[in-house]
Amino acid sequence: MQKFITQLDWRKSPLIPAIIQDDESLEVLMLGFVNQEALSLSLETGFMHYFSRSKNRIWKKGESSGCFQKIKNIKLDCDRDSLLVCVEQVGSACHTGERSCFFRELKNDADNTISLDCAYKKETLLKDCDTQKNSHTNQENAILDTLYHILLERKFSSSSTSYTASLYQKGINTICKKITEEVGELVCEIKDEEKEKMIYETADVFYHIFVALAYYNIHPENILQELKRRFAFSGIEEKNGRKS
C-alpha cells in the first residue's frame, strides 16, 4: 500500500486529482482531491476519502449524506500525478442529488450562443428533500467521522500538549487500562442513579473506546454497520451464531 502511494509524483502538489468512475456503467461521477493521508485511509478502509480544500481537512465521502464510495480499483495516469478510481457508488455522487456531478451540458442555441443545458430535475430536488429528513442521523455520523480524523492526527501530535497523544505514545495497554477505569466510573454513576453524570461518564467511555479503535485505524462507521447488521436478528440468535 505504501509502495503505491510513493509511486505518485507528489513534488508538483500535495494534492492529486482523483477522477471517480462508476465501476459498472463507467459513468464519470465526480472529481476530488487526495493528499497522502486521504489516499492512505482510502486504501486502508476500502472507501474513498478526500482532502477538502474548503474545510481544510480530510473527509470520507458519504460521512454526512450516507452516499459512500466503495473502491473497486485504482489506476495511475502516465505522469503519475492523477488517479482514476472505479467505485461502487451508494446513492448519489453529487451533493445536488444527481447521480453524477457532471450533469450540465454545453449546447449551441439557435442564435449560435453556447448555453448550459441543466439536467437538474424537480424530482431530484424532491429526492434531496427526502434525504434531508435523515439529517439528524447524518450529523451524528459526521461527528463520529470528524472525531476519528482528529484522533488520527493526535497520533502524530506532541504528548506534552495533547492528552490523547500521550495515550498513543504510552501504547495500547495504557489505553485499555484507561477504558477499564472509565467503565468503572460509569458503573458507579449508574448504581447511584446520577443521570447527568451517567451521560458525562458514558461520553468518556465512548471517547476512550474510539481512541483504541483509531489506534488500529478502525473507523467508527464499522461499529455502526455491525449494529445495523444485528437489527435483523434477535439477541439470542446473534449470540448463538457467534463462532466459538
pLDDT mean across residues, the chain: 84
pLDDT per position as a tens digit, 74-98:
999 999 999 999 999 988 898 777 8
For 215-231, the DSSP string reads HTT--HHHHHHHHHHHT
> Does residue 17 sit in the same domain as residue 107?
yes
Give pLDDT, residue 163.
Answer: 93
Q: How far apart are CA 241 and CA 235, in angstroms?
A: 10
Give pLDDT, residue 74.
Answer: 96
Name the residue range of residue 160's domain. 135-240
- Asked whether 25 and 98 are in contact (CB, 8 A), the reply is no
pLDDT per position as a tens digit, 125-178:
445 445 544 555 555 667 787 888 888 888 888 888 889 999 999 999 999 999
CB atoms within 10 A of CB 51: 20
Can you tell me the mean pLDDT for 221-243?
A: 76
- Asked whether 90 and 67 are in contact (CB, 8 A), the reply is yes
- The number of domains in the chain is 2
**Total residue count of the chain as it appears in this document:** 244
Domain finish residue from 78, 104, 124: 124
* 130 assigned to some structural domain: no
> Does residue 177 sit in the same domain as residue 73?
no
pLDDT per position as a tens digit, 41-76:
999 999 999 998 877 889 899 887 788 999 999 999
* 210 assigned to some structural domain: yes
Domain finish residue from 124, 157, 188: 124
pTM score of the predicted model: 0.50
* 93 assigned to some structural domain: yes
Can you tell me the mean pLDDT for 202-217?
A: 94
Q: Which residues lie below 8 Å from residue 115, measured CB to CB, with a gap of 6+?
A: 106, 107, 109
- Asked whether 42 and 34 are in contact (CB, 8 A), the reply is yes
* 231 assigned to some structural domain: yes
Give pLDDT, residue 75.
Answer: 95
> Does residue 77 sit in the same domain as residue 188?
no
CA dihedral angle for residue 236, residue 238, residue 240, residue 244, rounded to 10 degrees: -140
The residue with greater pLDDT, 182 or 140, is 182
Domain finish residue from 95, 124, 153: 124
- Asked whether 241 and 233 are in contact (CB, 8 A), the reply is yes
- Asked whether 123 and 96 are in contact (CB, 8 A), the reply is no
> Does residue 27 sit in the same domain as residue 66?
yes
> Does residue 61 sit in the same domain as residue 91?
yes
